[in-house]
Structure 1
């Protein structure tokens, strides 16, 4: 999920589409329908085809030809990515109001030459809500299943993980300010509210509107560490943004599903 920060980027939009209409349905969808959806979302055909190729190379899409039509299916990696994103979108919520007072403390030390592995690890940690205290020492509020977060990474063997509590004279508010730059997620939520408060600014096509809405929401929550409410600014914009997302989604989802049924031709995933 650590892709471009613009929620309308082709890959973010495509991931939102696949999460909404392919994940969990055991189907493959025709490429032509996917390209049509991306066109309605104002993604050029060149950018759309380039995105499909890139996602296939990255192991996120499987392509199957039936006659003259090519169908797209999800790989196990894509299913894990989309399931994780869906959990954050629909179940976890953007506000941590049930914090038990504990922290997950993680440290690592990687070889200097492991630039790619270090970037991949940090992207996973940020998505899981970790903030950097210093060097290779990271912190997240509450329990985190770190084994699941780093599954498949080479760096996983170089981690040490602990459950911790803050003791006096620790200033937890200062610790939070040092470990997380909250202006980033706050800005993402504020941009989401500005864009979606006025429905006239959204695409007229309901399917494109739904997919762009979900893509923008994934962008908004991507860098939110879900800190305890007691350690957040009083004017934290996440609750209002979340309420707006749910309202706009409820307004568009039924009509979007009707359009999806018209343009997204599908076959069972096991058919070749």
Structure 2
């Protein structure tokens, strides 16, 4: 469940840096199958350290509309990304999240839990970074830009990026990890700055548009399900589907403070719909996952811990 580009600051530095070694599939790019498998496993077994046999994962993936071959390929590629580690028990493969992936997922859970809630306090200060990476280190420059976006930054100019949140420590860790030495990070209030407003680093109209499909697709489902219960398999599918769609948003939306946004910014309506749909599906979806575990992986039965969104 990690797409989370701008985690709540203050986590321990070593797990955060180690977690950067994990190449999670990026939302909106790459394999949608891998995204779905990560979302599903992260929802129910993100902190489970035991092994999950591939037959269980493939069976649950079928409820999401994934073929057994597609699910197996996704598992193999996620292992290659260091998201999952793989082992064999006889002729059967089994998987679990790597320790580094679990560290990233823990950050992701915190970020998704608060994203769009409007409850994160803002101190009115901005974080600004200016950097220079030589042309011969183009790959490092792209990795740094990706990390900046992950942290909620946007480019005001080519090598000057800004964020409304205090992520200076996280960013400094990333620069050290990537071997970037030529940079400066500072915090500033917008008052007193001259020239282009920092908020113009983002195209808010483009950010706004990303929520249109989500709101249109899930508002009617939320209204239709009011007070109703779905069969377990359908609840499992819909719950995974809606979270997989939601977790892509923080890649394009930095989660700016509500004070900086129009009052009708659609993030808040999308969040309301998400909570109203996602949480009520929990019990039926978990029952479906547990029944599958009891049949296919008794050792994993009883260990699912579905994610609960705060209202």
TM-score category, normalised to shorter length = 0.7 to 0.9
Tell me which of 216, 219, 235 is aligned to 2:264. Answer: 235
Q: Match of 1:197, SS?
A: helix
Superposed CA RMSD in Å reads 2.8
> Over residues 84-124 of structure 1, what are the superposed CA-to-partner deviations in whole Å (9 max), with x where a residue is unaligned?
22111113545366211111111221121323322222222
Residue 63 of structure 1: how far off its partner (Å) = 0.8
Residues 30, 70 of structure 1: 8 Å contact kept: yes
Aligned to 1:32: 55
Structure 1 residues 33 and 159: alpha-carbon distance in aligned structure 2, compared to 1, 3 A threshold: farther
Q: What residue in structure 2 maps to residue 132 of structure 1?
A: 155
Q: Which runs of 5+ in 2 are unaligned?
A: 4-24, 301-311
Aligned length: 266
What is the TM-score when the length of structure 2 is the normalising length? 0.76
Matched, 1:163 2:195: no
What's 1:193 paired with?
A: 215
**Conserved 8 A contact 1:8-1:215:** no
Q: Structure 1 residues 63, 148: closer, same or farther in 2, change over 3 A?
A: farther
1:150 maps to which of 174, 185, 190: 174
Secondary structure of 2:135's counterpart equals coil
Matched residue, 1:182: 204
Confirm or deny that 1:248 pairs with 2:277.
yes
Instruction: Encode CA deviations 1:147-189: one digit per residue, 9 max, x unaligned.
Output: 47727842454432211112336477x4312x11223432222
| Contact 2:162–2:198 (CA under 8 A) maintained in structure 1 | no
Report the more deviating stretch, 63-72 or 141-150. 141-150
Distance (whole Å) between structure 2 residues aligned to residue 234 and residue 149 of structure 1: 35
Tell me how far apart the structure 2 counterparts of residues 184 and 94 of structure 1 sit (CA, whole Å): 20
Paired with 2:246 and 2:173, the residues of 1 have a C-alpha distance of 21
Is the contact between residue 14 and residue 38 of structure 1 (CA under 8 Å) also seen in structure 2? yes
Unpaired segments of 5 or more residues in structure 1? none
Alpha-carbon distance between aligned partners in 2 of 1:93 and 1:27, rounded to the nearest angstrom: 33
- What is the deviation of 1:6? 7.0
Is contact 1:31-1:72 (8 Å) kept? yes
TM-score relative to the length of structure 1 = 0.86
1:63-212 matches, within 5 Å, as: 63-93=86-116, 95=118, 98-144=121-167, 145-147=169-171, 150=174, 153-168=177-192, 170=194, 174-177=197-200, 179-199=201-221, 205-212=234-241
